[in-house]
Structure 1
Amino acid sequence: MRYQKSGKTDEELEEILEAFLMEQEGMMKKWLKKVSLPRYLTDELSLVTKTDLDKIRKNLGIKNVSQLNKKDLIVELVKQIPATISENIVKLDVEAYSLVKKVVKHSFYHTDTENIELQKVQYLQDLLLVFPGEYQGKPGLYMTEEIKKVFSENDGPELETIVRRNTEWITLTHGMLYYYGFLDIHNLMKLMKKYTDKDVPVNEFLDALLFAAKYYEQIIPVLNGFEDYRVENSTLLAEEQQRRNDLSFYPFTKKQLLEAGQQDFVETTPEIKQFIKLLQQHFTLTKADIEDIVFDITVKVNTEASPTEMMDYLQEHFEIPSFKFMEQITEKLMNIHNSTRMWVLKGHKPKELFHEEKKHLQPLPTAPFSMKPTTNNKVVDINSYKKTGRNELCPCGSGKKFKKCCIKS
């Protein structure tokens, strides 16, 4: 059997694909724009509309020029933009800095869309740091002479130190939000000081994170802090965390957070590996399939999906061959739930808190695969799991007796 990657209809998939291709086509047109070198700010600004110029002005924080016509606005922007570039390059991390430096070094840095993420280039273009185009028949990136001059004047050991500091801030923040889901500014800065063993200047710190939010799209700034991009409602998550005032954020090592802060990181626990092994015994799974499943299951545990929702997800992707197999899957899902670091538990695993607080807990329910918490650790009682009798409620969550429901499978 093959793993079906989506539960969406063919029509929905076609609409999504069409929208994606249109977006990619628009970005590709920029890559195919033929240019001659050297290039100047006037050359680039003359190619965009007055509306786009206003967006550039707002993005760079240039004020009191909105009333100007396009020609005069370009003249004013050319005057003011170099000063804003000095402010923006100190927000870069190692990856973005290295890319910009390659463009400066080569005047035109030859690269294609397969070797670079378009949204990153788009954001650097929004900051007017680099531009995509085609030069001498090859796609790549270039920089205007004015910006190149400003970057070269500011580059050096001091900027490199700032860039390395930004990179550590960004990576640690990505790692913390991977495990905690949401952090308000106070806790984020408190933890950052702990892991870097240095005072954290708030304005420079927030500038670096706001840059990373748009460049990497892994974290999202919200009203009073930052959330991981997988979080659906940081307000509710924050309330859940606040209810556990007696529970500290799990004390990860700095190494653990730096690893979790890498792009596309997904923690694969032994319990998840066992779950995947069971699936591979019945289905053909590619490496990409496995990555998708691990990602989805981890998110669903963290968003407290009900047992029925978890089974619905699996049934959208797989044809369950038998009830025995479903029972095996159910047990594996319970194990995953109990061993996953949860946002609402501030990075703790339910089973960690269960063992720590066992003496103070009320007896757990005997109903199999009950994800409804009876204590703050939200642990699922695996030991209470037993084979379902014919006249007992079906574990699929339908509310029917087993003999009138899934036993027929």
Structure 2
Amino acid sequence: MSVSLQDFFTQLHTQRENTDEQITYTYKKLLKPQPVSSTQAAFLAQLTKKDLDTIRRWMDLEGVSKLTKQPLIECLTQEQTTAINRFILSMDNERLQWLKKFVAGEAIRLDHFTAHKLAFFTYTGLTFAIKDKDEYVLIMPDDVRRQFGAYDQNEWQIQADINDAIIRLTQGLLYYYGYMPKSTVFELVSPIVSYNLVRADAVIKDAKTYYDYMRETEQDLMDSRVIDLDSLKEQQQKSIYQKHYSFTDDQLIQAGTEDFMDLTDELIQLVKHLKERYSLDDQTMNRYMDDCLILLNSFIDIDPSFLYLSQQLPVTTEDDKKMLLALLQTSQDSIHTWALKGNKRKKDVNQTTETKKVGRNDPCPCGSGKKYKKCCGK
């Protein structure tokens, strides 16, 4: 194995481990007891100075970075309106639905939120995770609820619909291409908000934190599954395609939804073969397929994905090797690949390969008989 490919595998495993550790750490860190007073100041007092600084940075407050904890809490409560305006500016439909529940005084169980969503809500300084009796919930302080209630809510749905379009279009671009220069993304999405780049930037930044589907460098936005951006750029330069595949806006917006999978018949056959041939449980199967899809997307050929699976599974006989190689090849041929700038390895003149959107409560297409969210969608 080449050193560069070994480094890629190492980064792949490190990224997965870091994600698992972050989930555990985030829930443990942000969960606090119910304060005596249900005010924003009382909830903020339970956070660390580092957490308060994160809230300050999200609110774009300047000139207060050197404040000690108590003066900073006072500053954040005084700027409550600033935080509310920022939240409304960038929220999409999912966050709008949660906001309506919070403003109505509901306490939402934490198991409804991923670690990233929980952290996002906490670091707005507008909601907080607490233990209430025997339940772990996310709630909004009473004074924050009253402040939200003073707003004219008639425009909230329009704002959320517009922001939804920006987020889903951006995530769709990255889903299919792997990465895009920020300048290109803003050129494509800014017309949705009449070229208001400040708003577009806020919407994308908050979506990046909330959903964890995107990461960024100084120049580029990338799908969060991209392991090595420089390597991906090199692969794209080696490909025979000079241009990115031209998706429709509808295709990109669909690919930007949270439950979307570009799940072709060929990928389903690969999943079925691996589960049946190697008796894999759902969790292991899901992990291998996640990694395998990253490799199929990141490289022009199937050698890295074959090498990876050969290391994880007892692929010992020649028949096993031939079958796995064949299934990997047809799988890669069937998908729009990052390394090929969103194109397919084999051009399909009629573009008839069907893309399936699998809902979380739909039967899993691997044939297990379980719901997708309880099987390959974990």
When normalised by structure 1's length, the TM-score is 0.71
Deviations 1:5-25 (A, max 9, x none): xxx9xxx99x959x9579626
Percent identity over the alignment is 23
In the alignment, which residue of structure 2 is the partner of 1:272? 267
- Cα deviation for residue 290 of structure 1 reads 4.3
**Cα RMSD over matched residues?**
3.4
In the alignment, which residue of structure 1 is the partner of 2:375? none
Is the alpha carbon distance of 1:282 and 1:134 closer, same or farther for their aligned partners in structure 2, counting shifts above 3 Å? closer
- Cα deviation for residue 204 of structure 1 reads 1.2
Q: Is residue 2:138 matched to residue 1:176?
A: no
Q: Give the Cα separation in 2 of the matches to 1:320 and 1:217.
A: 34
Is the alpha carbon distance of 1:322 and 1:234 closer, same or farther for their aligned partners in structure 2, counting shifts above 3 Å? closer
In the alignment, which residue of structure 1 is the partner of 2:258? 263
Q: Give the Cα separation in 1 of the matches to 2:172 and 2:39.
A: 39
In the alignment, which residue of structure 1 is the partner of 2:104? 105
Deviations 1:302-353 (A, max 9, x none): 2217655333312222212411221122222222233331223221102118
Q: Show structure 1 runs of 5+ residues with no match.
A: 1-7, 357-409
Q: Is residue 2:132 matched to residue 1:135?
A: yes
Q: Give the Cα separation in 1 of the matches to 2:268 and 2:55.
A: 47
Deviations 1:290-310 (A, max 9, x none): 443433222112221765533
In the alignment, which residue of structure 2 is the partner of 1:65? 64
SS of structure 1 residue aligned to 2:346: helix
Q: Give the Cα separation in 2 of the matches to 1:45 and 1:325.
A: 58
- Cα deviation for residue 208 of structure 1 reads 0.6
In the alignment, which residue of structure 2 is the partner of 1:374? none
**C-alpha contact (below 8 Å) 2:232/2:338 kept by paired residues:** yes
In the alignment, which residue of structure 1 is the partner of 2:31? 31
In the alignment, which residue of structure 2 is the partner of 1:41? 40
Range with bigger deviation, 156-165 or 278-287: 278-287
Q: Map residues 196-345 of structure 1 onto 2, 5 A cutoff.
A: 199-235=194-230, 237-238=232-233, 241=236, 247-304=242-299, 308-345=303-340
- Cα deviation for residue 41 of structure 1 reads 2.4
> Which structure carries more helix by proportion?
2
Q: Give the Cα separation in 1 of the matches to 2:141 and 2:181.
A: 39
Q: 1:166 aligns with which of 163, 172, 179?
A: 163
Amino acid at match of 1:179: Y
Deviations 1:92-133 (A, max 9, x none): 111112112201102x4142x333223212111111121111
In the alignment, which residue of structure 1 is the partner of 2:374? none
Range with bigger deviation, 64-73 or 225-234: 64-73
Is the alpha carbon distance of 1:241 and 1:316 closer, same or farther for their aligned partners in structure 2, counting shifts above 3 Å? closer
- Cα deviation for residue 29 of structure 1 reads 6.2
Whichever of the two has the greater Rg, that structure is 1
Is the alpha carbon distance of 1:21 and 1:328 closer, same or farther for their aligned partners in structure 2, counting shifts above 3 Å? closer
- Cα deviation for residue 34 of structure 1 reads 2.6
In the alignment, which residue of structure 2 is the partner of 1:74? 73
Q: Give the Cα separation in 2 of the matches to 1:266 and 1:190.
A: 26
**C-alpha contact (below 8 Å) 2:59/2:86 kept by paired residues:** no
Q: Give the Cα separation in 1 of the matches to 2:245 and 2:22.
A: 43
Deviations 1:126-184 (A, max 9, x none): 11121111335433222123322332233512122111111121112112211011111
**C-alpha contact (below 8 Å) 2:92/2:163 kept by paired residues:** yes
Is the alpha carbon distance of 1:161 and 1:214 closer, same or farther for their aligned partners in structure 2, counting shifts above 3 Å? same
Q: Give the Cα separation in 1 of the matches to 2:29 and 2:293.
A: 37
Q: Give the Cα separation in 1 of the matches to 2:168 and 2:317.
A: 44
In the alignment, which residue of structure 1 is the partner of 2:154? 157
Instruction: Count residues with an aligned counterpart.
Output: 338
SS of structure 2 residue aligned to 1:179: helix
Q: 2:118 aligns with which of 97, 101, 121?
A: 121
